[in-house]
Amino acid sequence: MKWRLYAYKDLLLVFIWREFLIRYKQTSIGVLWAILQPVSLMLLFTFIFGVVLQTTPKAYPYTLFYFAGVLPWTFFSGASNFAVTSLSGNFNLVTKIYFPREIIPFSGVAINFIDYLIGFCVYFLMLIVYQVPISWNMLWILPLQGMLVIYTTSISLLLAALNVYYRDVKLVTTFLIQFLFFATPVIYSIDSVDNKWKMFLFLNPLTFIVENMRRVTIEGRGVVLWQLGIELAGVFLLYIVVYKIFIRIERAFADVI
């Protein structure tokens, strides 16, 4: 699958650069939006669950707890929302010129990842401010982020391709993303969930990512290797199957869009 994109790597770069420029052109605070969005969500959750409802999901600061969940979540939902209309919205390109179609949803994943990285720098500063001990276990963040990117890319490809055929997908996605928000432990901890539901929630790779994000950065513990192995294998398999189907049906996009 790599060789498909090799000849078009410049196009992918330019697409990412274009989306980045468009997003922040004629805005007054520019890239600061990348920080403002997750930070304001974090503050909102801290206020509602910490001040109004006075829940204590974990024994560490609310702000860290929510930010660790909000970051991967905004990346996933941002990329998925971008992807779903990325091909159908660019129908004048798709029907007129050939290039590997996955470039458009890929560029959506990429710009949202840039925002994610900016947000992550803020998160890291917060860890220092809260005097969380820096440990080697924090490096587990790398495979977790890899998993997050692969999973988000698979879902983006799937949504983009399906919306070419059925515009219902766009409407369903809005609803599904809201649903998935509550099925991901962004505003709660998986520890507070009954055991019989836990397995069910772990079918969602985002659950594993968010929970372990907190575990390795705030608690300084390592991941459970066999769990990481299973989750990574599952996400890889999903990616390969989705990408193969995408390549197969891509050639018909121009005719059905």
Partner 1 sequence: MSSNPIISLSNVWKKYSKQSVLNNSLREELISFLTGKKCYEELSDGEFWALKDICLYAGKGACIGLAGHNGSGKSTILKLISNVTYPTRGDIVIKGRVAPLIELGAGMHPDLSGIENIYMNGTILGLTIRELKKNIGSIVEFSGLDDFINVPVKKYSSGMYLRLAFSIAVHSPADIFLFDEVLAVGDEEFQARCLKRIESIRSNNGTILVVSHDHASLTRICDNIITLDHGIALTGVLV
Nearest Cα neighbor of 78 from 102, 123, 110, 103 is 110
Nearer to partner 1, 199 or 256 (CB): 256
Closest approach, Cβ 104 to partner 1, in A, equals 10
Nearer to partner 1, 193 or 249 (CB): 249
- Whether 223 contacts 215, CB under 8 Å: yes
Closest approach, Cβ 123 to partner 1, in A, equals 31
Closest approach, Cβ 203 to partner 1, in A, equals 24
What is the spatial distance between Cα 124 and Cα 234, in angstroms, rounded to a whole number?
29
What is the spatial distance between Cα 247 and Cα 132, in angstroms, rounded to a whole number?
45
**Residues within the interface to partner 1 (CB under 8 A):** 10-11, 13-14, 17-18, 21-22, 25-26, 92-99, 165, 245, 248-249, 251-252, 254-256
Q: What are the helix (H) ranges across the chain?
A: 2-6, 9-24, 32-45, 62-84, 91-94, 103-129, 141-165, 168-183, 195-202, 205-217, 225-250, 253-256
Nearer to partner 1, 194 or 255 (CB): 255
Closest approach, Cβ 186 to partner 1, in A, equals 33
Closest approach, Cβ 10 to partner 1, in A, equals 5
Angle between helices 195-202 and 205-217 (to 10 degrees): 100
Angle between helices 9-24 and 103-129 (to 10 degrees): 60
Nearer to partner 1, 24 or 60 (CB): 24
Nearer to partner 1, 26 or 195 (CB): 26
